[in-house]
Chains A and B, each alone.
Chain A
Amino acid sequence: MAEALTANEKWWGGGKSPFNVEYGKLMMWYFLMSDAFTFGAFLISYGTIRFSSAAWPDPNHVFSSFPFMGHAHLPLVFVSLMTFILIMSSVTMVLAVAAGHANNKAGVIKWMSWTILGGIAFLACQAWEWTHLYHQDAWWGKNPFTNFDGTPASTNFTNFFFTITGFHGFHVFSGVIVNIIMLIMTIRGTFERRGHYLMIEKAGLYWHFVDLVWVFVFTCFYLF
């Protein structure tokens, strides 16, 4: 089983894993692919409705607040901070996976802790953003914002915004829970005894996927 794989070897002849990845990791990839289609369906329905509308609110106008800055007009600054936090936590996650490859338990603990912190920071930012919008009277079924040309907008804008960022936020939340479980298992030495840190890689794949989805949500809601 453990022989080296050469270039001419028959991958599908049986006796070895043809993709050369662990079963759980392969299934994580396929799960993420299906999840990508779920998010894709959400974003495409948003795109369809938006394309069918004569006008739509201007994100530069809607998303222009920052905590403790009162009514200062700071378009997109807060969401840039959220994006930066999420990219940063993706980096610390890769570093945790790399530490796992080197069987470096202390490294895994350190970088997993930073990743969890980043995830919590992102959720806190999103909670603030939602609260702020709620106080501006934006919620499912309520839209206080007008279209870019001054005409009254439908509630499609807020419905899609809260549904899709909420679904993404729920993914971040589950990711943080998974990462906390991984951290506890690392501290208790479960992976050390097992001899490998492949579970960290699977959690890492999920976490990067959350970052990946945010890249698309960010473009669709804040830039378009």
Chain B
Amino acid sequence: MANMDNTTVAAHKEEHSFDAKAIWRTFWILLIITCLELAIGMFVAPQFPHHYKLWFNILYIIFTLAKAFYIIAEFMHLRHELKNMIMTIAIPCLLFIWFIAAFLWDGHAFKTARETLDPRDPPAKVEQKAPAHAPAGEEHIK
């Protein structure tokens, strides 16, 4: 019974308005960012040598995070909730920063370990031309 009361009360209290203008503005922002990403991916990035890839990837990550922000804040309406509520969602997600840093670090460690330790994959070959995973090399990461 108490639970039902809560629901009705919440229904009446949640009166932050959904503004149709804001919805369409978010839509255009998302569309424009996606088009930018694609234009860069299709036309700009192939003009550059492969070692520039990292910088393009950083650019894509910035665009992606911008899109994620708009979807969560506007479409999922989180920006209009109470601050306490926002923080219980946002703070645990900060763990992702560590996850990503730690695992990319790990990936890099695998790579150097394979290059230096695997006798079937001499470092000189790996630098440029060796296959990503010689079938024999794969056992190391599993």
Segment at the interface with B among A95-103, A133-141, A163-171, A176-184: A95-103
Most buried by B among A24, A56, A84, A91: A91
Number of A-B contacts (CB under 8 A): 193
- Check if A62 is an interface residue, CB within 8 A of chain B: no
Distance in angstroms from A29 CB to nearest chain B CB is 6
In the complex with contacts A60-B46, A208-B76, A29-B11 CB distance below 8 A: no
Q: What's the Cα separation between A122 and B22 when bound, in Å?
A: 25
* Contact size range, B: 35 or more
Q: What's the Cα separation between A149 and B127 when bound, in Å?
A: 12
0 or 1 for each of A196-224: is its CB under 8 Å from B? (1 = yes): 10100000110011011001101100111
CB <8 Å contact, B10 and A51? no
0 or 1 for each of A42-83: is its CB under 8 Å from B? (1 = yes): 001101111111111000100000000000000110001001
0 or 1 for each of B99-110: is its CB under 8 Å from A? (1 = yes): 110011011111
- Which residue from A20, A91, A153, A218 sits with its C-beta under 8 Å from B23? A91
Q: What's the Cα separation between A60 and B57 when bound, in Å?
A: 14
- Which residue from B8, B27, B57, B141 sits with its C-beta under 8 Å from A195? B8
- Which residue from A1, A20, A44, A76 sits with its C-beta under 8 Å from B99? A44
- Which residue from B17, B20, B34, B56 sits with its C-beta under 8 Å from A87? B34
0 or 1 for each of B45-60: is its CB under 8 Å from A? (1 = yes): 0100010000011001
A90: nearest residue on chain B (CB-CB)?
Answer: B75
- Please give, as numbers and ranges, the residues of chain A lying within 8 Å of B95 by CB-CB distance: 37
In the complex with contacts A11-B84, A22-B11, A224-B60, A212-B71 CB distance below 8 A: yes
0 or 1 for each of B1-44: is its CB under 8 Å from A? (1 = yes): 00101111111111001101001101100110011011001100
In the complex with contacts A19-B84, A44-B103, A211-B71 CB distance below 8 A: yes
Q: What's the Cα separation between A52 and B124 when bound, in Å?
A: 17
- Check if A127 is an interface residue, CB within 8 A of chain B: no
- Check if B79 is an interface residue, CB within 8 A of chain A: no
- Which residue from A20, A52, A224 sits with its C-beta under 8 Å from B85? A20
* Contact size range, A: 35 or more
Give chain B's interface secondary structure class. Answer: helix
CB <8 Å contact, B13 and A52? no
CB <8 Å contact, A151 and B13? no
Distance in angstroms from B61 CB to nearest chain A CB is 7
In the complex with contacts A154-B131, A212-B72, A80-B85 CB distance below 8 A: no
Sample of 24 A–B contacts (CB below 8 Å):
A18-B84, A19-B82, A23-B3, A33-B89, A40-B96, A51-B103, A51-B104, A51-B108, A52-B114, A53-B132, A80-B35, A87-B27, A87-B34, A90-B71, A93-B75, A94-B18, A97-B77, A153-B133, A154-B133, A198-B7, A208-B72, A208-B75, A215-B71, A223-B41
User: Which B residues contact A (CB, under 8 angstroms)?
Assistant: 3, 5-14, 17-18, 20, 23-24, 26-27, 30-31, 34-35, 37-38, 41-42, 46, 50, 56-57, 60-61, 63-64, 67-68, 71-72, 74-77, 81-82, 84-85, 88-89, 92-93, 95-96, 99-100, 103-104, 106-111, 114, 126-133, 135, 138, 141
